[in-house]
Structure 1
Amino acid sequence: MAPDDEDAGKDFPVVCEDCLGPNPYVRMMKIPRGSECAISGRPFDVYRWRPGSDARYKKTVVCKEIALAKNVCQVCLLDLDYGIPVAARDAALGRAGGNALPSSSVNRDFAVNAIAKKLDEGEDAYEHGEKERNNELLMRLARKKPYYNKNKSPICTFWLRNACTRNDCPYRPCNGDTNMPELSAAPELRKQNIKDRYFGTNDPVADQMLKRAKEKMENRKLTPPEDTSITTLFIGNVDPERVNEDDIRGRFYRYGDIKSIRVIGNKKCAFITFTSRAGAEKAAEDAAFNLEINGVQCRLQWGKVMEKKSTGDKGPTPSPAPTVMMMAPGVAPPADGTNPADLPSHMAIPMPAPSAVGAKVAYPSQDPTAMGAISKEVKE
């Protein structure tokens, strides 16, 4: 296919990133009307390429109209947006699986022609809804990074029987790649039908994914605290530049009346308080698994009761520091029990005692050896 062909973008196959491989420059071979679609039975243009030096050759198995009707890849039949089987996607969205095309050949051709007409008019054959972006289970099942291991060469069947005699066998593990997780997989996962995978029925891989995701969701449920007076939830990882109080209120208003919302920008967290405990429990149960606000992935926890400082346990009041009488030179000390206030100013200089031995005095006038510490009358 020439790069300057006007119909290059229109004729390009619907293929996911995993099947294309890590190399951005892919060389494909186009075979016009090279095979029949595995779903509709109509002839279509087959594309064949090799996604990597250590990968096997891949080719399209269904026509473009059939792939766009389910929003799946023409090669692996996985969802183009989330990289998961159709059965797992439809189960997360609550859609009923089954045949999307009529059984008879005449009605099936009519349905495929209707899909092709939509595509020619610029319409989408598969309807995306708001429910997909807010579905927590679907976000959990979605594949976040490309997975190129599925492009590796298949396992050598002669090696499995210990009978491979080829010196340059291109299959695993004869080619040196000993990483073969397929051997440890359950036997039922190795048997999949193309039609069952496309229509989302009897797919063992999707059933295993759903089972594993539901178990993780049950383990991550927040346990409500025993104190029923707690109606506050803690929201962590809050970006103050992208998430504000109105965004949090718009995400949690559906669970009940909100008493207050407090966003702490420097700590990147927020606190939301409901008027009732039932609203807080419903929000914790529904949003604890996958909380996303304005594209920011946040985490949710129950708030804690702030321990109030009790005023009755302050302890004994410290006694005032004793007063030490510094006697002037040549003056006899007074008798025991004499009040320093009754003594004349030339006989004693009242000073507060240091709090510790060797403590530094605060003012020079408190030092008896400093100038001005002894009264002028004593000097004279």
Structure 2
Amino acid sequence: MAMSKSTNTYNRQNWEDADFPILCQTCLGDNPYIRMTKEKYGKECKICIRPFTVFRWCPGARMRFKKTEICQTCSKLKNVCQTCLLDLEYGLPIQVRDAALKVQDDLPRNEVNKEYYIQNLDSQMSKFDPTQPSNSALKSKGASDLLLRLARTAPYYKRNRPHVCSFWVKGECRRGEECPYRHEKPTDPDDPLADQNIKDRYYGVNDPVAEKLMRRAAAMPALPPPEDRTVTTLYIGNLPENIVEEELRGHFYQYGEIRSLTLVPRAQCAFVQYTTRSAAEHAAEKTFNRLVIAGKRLTIKWGKSQGRQGTNEKSEPPPPLEPVPGLPGTLPPPPAFLHPFPPQMPPPPSRPNDFFNLHYAGGWGAWGAPPPPALHYPSQDPARLGAHAHASQPQT
């Protein structure tokens, strides 16, 4: 049993003796048949310096062995994993979570005060649900927009990779592919991520990972509403394959009354039209880059303005066709006598004689047979088709 001189050896009834650790899905690994070793009072907690039960396991193939770093009391106090010290619900550092929820850390830093504070928490947790966080501020606070943007929706198993082989860095590793460590270039020592402290992460101060995530959140794109106020339709992309219209309507009906919802299963997208513009803006603000269904983050975009799109099409004339070489130009317009009515005169009212195919010849009541068609095109002129002479002309 590992104990230091500062450990309170006479207060052993408050030492932790657990049967299973408090871990996140990433640290637990993807292997359903995991095997752990349990060492009772194996090490001291790196936060409260009290002996606790240490668990050690391998999360999967080609991964490094992991172990618990803090006791379960400190884990429940902050609602974090005992190994990576990230939030169990969002998978984010404590500094990011407390900044988003505006939670102030009231954990004392002094060793004596800290031990007294944690002992009181142990007695309180024994009366209530041990699965809930002990911090009352975390119980009352709900999810914020920042947490929904940065939260991890799936385990990040890349975090369990082995460490870099120090012999490979020196050029002296002779194991080759059998080496259990990574043969990669190590992190630059000047990189802030190379200097991480477990106490700073737990107290939420000077955490380089949290600062990186905060900068990423500040640079995230937004979804500005279109200028056309008539647009009340949202495009929903990256939908799961087996989603139904009732499930999708249940996610978007909470932001306002829906006029229509069109689901396109082949394209894995949908169009949600709200009755008011305010409801559409509220839905776009709450769901953009935040809504996750069946482990997939949905793509939210504004629909296009149909009226403006039609106006643009009418205002732009079609491009003129290029003339074909070798063909004549356009034909001249037909003469005026081919029109049944002059342009300046309106057509006469319908008469009973229209039924007998009689056309208007001029003036009211002047009805007769239609005039013979005039020869307009040269191909219809008999004089130009090789005819010799008319019957009225004398033959020579």
TM exceeds 0.5? Answer: yes
How far apart in 2 are the matches of 1:203 and 1:64?
22
Question: What is the match of residue 94 of structure 1?
Answer: 102
Counterpart of 2:66 (choices 30, 48, 58) is: 58
Question: Which of these residues, 127, 139, 144, is aligned with residue 121 of structure 1?
Answer: 127
Q: How far apart are the structure 1 equivalents of 2:32 and 2:161? A: 18
Match of 1:214 in 2: 218
Paired residue secondary structure (1:74): coil
Question: Separation in 1 of the partners of 2:200 and 2:288?
Answer: 34
Other-structure match for 1:12: 20
Structure 1: runs of 5 or more not aligned: 1-8, 253-259, 311-338, 343-380
Aligned equivalent of 2:260: 263
AA at the equivalent of 1:234: L
State the SS of the aligned residue for 1:11.
coil
- Give the conservation status (yes or no) of the 8 Å contact 1:36–1:44: yes
Q: 1:102 aligns to what SS in structure 2?
A: coil
Cα distance in 2, alignment partners of residues 166 and 292 from structure 1? 44
Distance 1:185-1:301 versus aligned 2 partners, 3 A rule: farther
Looking at structure 2, the residues matched to 308 and 16 of structure 1 have their Cα atoms a distance apart, in angstroms, of 50
What amino acid does structure 1 have at the position aligned with 2:160?
N
- What is the CA–CA distance in structure 2 between the aligned matches of 1:164 and 1:309, rounded to whole Å? 69
Deviations 1:284-311 (A, max 9, x none): 556544357999957241552536999x
Q: Equivalents in 2 of 1:282, 1:56: separation in Å? A: 45
Describe the SS at the equivalent of 2:219. Answer: helix
Instruction: Give me the whole-angstrom Cα distance separating, in 1, the residues matched to 2:223 and 2:234.
Output: 15
1:144-155 mapped onto 2 (5 Å cutoff): 144-155=153-164
SS of 2:307's equivalent?
A: coil
Which residue in the other structure is 1:49 paired with?
A: 57
Of 193, 202, 207 in structure 1, the residue corresponding to residue 206 of structure 2 is 202
Q: Which amino acid in the other structure matches residue 300 of structure 2?
A: R
2:160 paired with 1:140:
no
Matched-pair contact (CA < 8 Å) for 1:40–1:66 = yes
| 1:78 Cα deviation after fit | 1.3
- Deviation readout 1:91-134 (Å, 9 max, x if unpaired): 232334x5x4212222211221222223322332245557544x
Alignment partner of 1:306: what SS?
A: helix
Distance across 1 between alignment mates of 2:122 and 2:20: 15
For 1:158, give the aligned amino acid.
F
In structure 2, the partner of 1:3 is none
Kindly state the Cα deviation for residue 14 of structure 1 after the two structures are TM-superposed. Answer: 0.8
Provide the secondary structure at the position in 2 that maps to 1:299.
Answer: strand
SS of 1:153's equivalent in the other structure is coil
My pick for the range that moved more, 78-87 or 200-209, is 78-87
The equivalent of 1:106 in structure 2 is 112
The answer to whether 1:183 aligns with 2:183 is no
Q: Is the 8 A contact 2:289 2:299 kept in 1?
A: no
Q: Match of 1:40?
A: 48
2:159 aligned counterpart, secondary structure: helix
Map residues 1-380 of structure 1 onto 2, 5 A cutoff.
Answer: 11-96=19-104, 98=105, 100-123=106-129, 124=132, 125-126=134-135, 128-129=138-139, 132-133=142-143, 135-164=144-173, 170-173=179-182, 178=183, 180=184, 183=187, 187-216=191-220, 219-225=221-227, 227=228, 229-230=229-230, 232-234=232-234, 236=236, 240-244=245-249, 248=252, 250-252=254-256, 261-265=258-262, 268-274=270-276, 284=284, 287-291=287-291, 297=298, 299-301=300-302, 304-306=305-307, 341=357
- Cα separation, partners in 2 of 1:182 and 1:144, compared to 1, 3 Å: farther
When the two structures are aligned, how many residues end up with a matched partner? 289
Cα displacement (A) at 1:172: 2.8
Deviation at 1:85, TM superposition (A): 1.5
For residues 201 and 160 of structure 1, the distance between their equivalents in structure 2, rounded to whole angstroms, comes to: 32
Match of 2:341 in 1: none
Q: CA deviation at 1:266?
A: 5.1
State how far apart, in whole Å, the 2-side matches of 1:130 and 1:181 are. 45
Aligned-residue offset at 1:66: 0.4
In structure 2, distance between residues paired with 1:341 and 1:37: 108
User: How many angstroms does 1:153 deviate by?
Assistant: 1.9
When the two structures are superposed, what TM-score results if normalisation uses the length of structure 2? 0.60
- Offset, 1:137: 2.4
Asked whether the equivalents of residues 291 and 298 of structure 2 are also in contact (C-alpha less than 8 Å), the reply is yes
Per the TM alignment, residue 38 of structure 1 is displaced from its structure 2 partner at its CA by 0.2
Aligned-pair Cα RMSD in Å: 4.1
1:263/1:271 contact within 8 Å kept: yes
C-alpha deviation, 1:142, in angstroms: 1.7
Shift of 1:261: 3.9
**1:257-295 residue CA offsets vs partner (Å, 9 max, x unmatched):** xxx74123456432224477xx87676556544357999
State the 1:183 CA deviation.
3.2
Task: Check the 8 A contact 2:255/2:283 in 1, yes or no.
Answer: no
Q: Confirm or deny: 8 A CA contact 1:230 1:303 kept in the other structure.
A: no
Instruction: Give % identity.
Output: 35
